Structure 1
Amino acid sequence: MLNNDDFNLLNTLFPAWQQLTTKQQQIISQNASLIQVKKNNFVHTTKEGCSGILIIKKGQLRVYTLSEQGKDITFYRLNDGDISILSASCVIKDITFDIYIEALTDCELIQILPCAFAKVMNENIYLEAITYKLATKRLCTVTWAMQQMMFTSFDKRLAEFLLNESNTTNSNEINMTHEQIAKLMGSAREVVTRMLKYFSTEGYVEITRGKVKIINKQALEKL
């Protein structure tokens, strides 16, 4: 069940809410529920079916896929206030590749059942347009992530990852283990450790247990 705060969040973050009729708003509200997911648990896998639309009330999710060799490739992360649109692959039928979503932290999510979302989307051109706009935006991020994996050198990728994390948290300290960084980058821990040691030798970063501190941002930006 949603409480008043959850309904207010739904009204604020749901795509094209103001363009829905009162009846359509009721359909969405009646088919929305608050779910809690513990850290490291799956939120969605394509093989298990369609999860519907997910609005992140609190926490962080990782959206990724798996290669034929079982290697996971991170596409992007979702944070408070973000909307997971690719989890509704049954609604957006052009999404044909496997998507996995896991909780990187304990999460609270507002889940909208796919059947209700599909019904309203088919009736409302505004919701349909913004849904495909959001999906296109996410698919562009997926394409960019694949291009990075295939065509960008690892030192540059790692530098960009560290700089992005620093900008996101507004801190020069990245509180992650080498294993966590490797997982998010779709690489091996040994590769990350080797490159971080090189960065440390060059004076770009300082490495301590479970933490990487950026010392020279300008040098990382030039890679």
Structure 2
Amino acid sequence: MCENKEILLNESLPFFKYLSKQEKDLIYNSSHIEEYHSGELIYSKYQSCTGLVLVANGILRSFMSSLSGKEITLFKLFEKDLCVLSSSCFYQNLSYDINLQAVENSSLVIIDGKPFKELLDTNIDVQKFMFEVTQSKLSEIMGVLEQVVFFSLEHRLSEYLIEQYYLKNSLKIDITHEAIANDLGSSREVISRMLKRFEKDNLVKLNRGCITIINIKDLQAISNKN
């Protein structure tokens, strides 16, 4: 497991191989591996600085939630992706309320934020990498905002199903209506009504916990309308 951690750090952090032995030891000794089950919260707006989260395997979702319980996914993290927004000690002058959750059983490398912040303050390569990662995630968040503000739910749902098709490489998508609602910032009832309309139009077939795409070309036509 320790060897796996070192390999993962080396492969996932482009600057790692250029660090001095002392700097490498700092990151290695201030990081640990944790396992999370599907649906388990890794970080929430009520926690202090968790640290940097590096995905060894599995899938995570970063989301915001309202007082009423409605959620919207901001971005997802896959193998070798890094989440910096869970390390609030990097951004003391920013106020944001995000949560990080395991979509499926996941293994993570958690890097303590405070020692890493010391390295960030003194190493230009680390600063450049962190800027690029942060910029990338903020771009994804802006993309979600654009979708919510300017596109219809019909468009967003059709695009979501197409994305799931390419992600899973299967026309059969094992997912609940509630999970889709949480990703799209809608309610389960609204998503269910829209999916039933899609089914009536012979775009999909619905089963409990599963959606099968029947006509992906027509789904793509809907997603291209706006």
TM-score bracket for this pair, using the shorter chain length = over 0.9
Partner SS for 2:91: coil
Residue in structure 2 matched with residue 3 of structure 1 by the alignment? 2
Give the drift of 1:151: 1.8
Structure 2: which amino acid aligns with 1:118? K
- Map 1:136-155 → 2, pairs under 5 A: 136-155=135-154
Structure 2: which amino acid aligns with 1:210? G
Residues 5 and 92 (structure 1 numbering): CA distance in 2 closer, same or farther, change over 3 Å? same
Residue in structure 2 matched with residue 178 of structure 1 by the alignment? 177
2:207 is the alignment partner of 1:208:
yes
Cα contact 2:70–2:187 (8 A) shared by 1: no
- Map 1:155-194 → 2, pairs under 5 A: 155-194=154-193
Structure 1 runs of 4+ with >6 Å offset: none
Range that drifts further, 3-12 or 133-142: 3-12
Residue in structure 1 matched with residue 85 of structure 2 by the alignment? 86
How many residue pairs get aligned? The number is 222
Give the drift of 1:15: 4.1
Cα contact 1:38–1:106 (8 A) shared by 2: yes
Residues 92 and 16 (structure 1 numbering): CA distance in 2 closer, same or farther, change over 3 Å? farther
| Cα RMSD for the two superposed structures | 1.5
Give the drift of 1:186: 1.5
Cα contact 1:50–1:88 (8 A) shared by 2: yes
Long gaps (5+) in structure 1: none
Long gaps (5+) in structure 2: none
CA distance in 2, matches of 1:123, 1:23: 13
CA distance in 1, matches of 2:161, 2:34: 31
Residue in structure 2 matched with residue 122 of structure 1 by the alignment? 121
Partner SS for 2:80: coil
Give the drift of 1:19: 2.6
Residue in structure 1 matched with residue 64 of structure 2 by the alignment? 65
CA distance in 2, matches of 1:130, 1:95: 19
Cα contact 1:39–1:107 (8 A) shared by 2: yes
Residue in structure 2 matched with residue 41 of structure 1 by the alignment? 40
CA distance in 1, matches of 2:45, 2:196: 37
Partner SS for 1:65: strand
Give the drift of 1:69: 4.3
Give the drift of 1:68: 5.1
| TM-score, normalization by structure 2 | 0.93
Residues 144 and 189 (structure 1 numbering): CA distance in 2 closer, same or farther, change over 3 Å? same
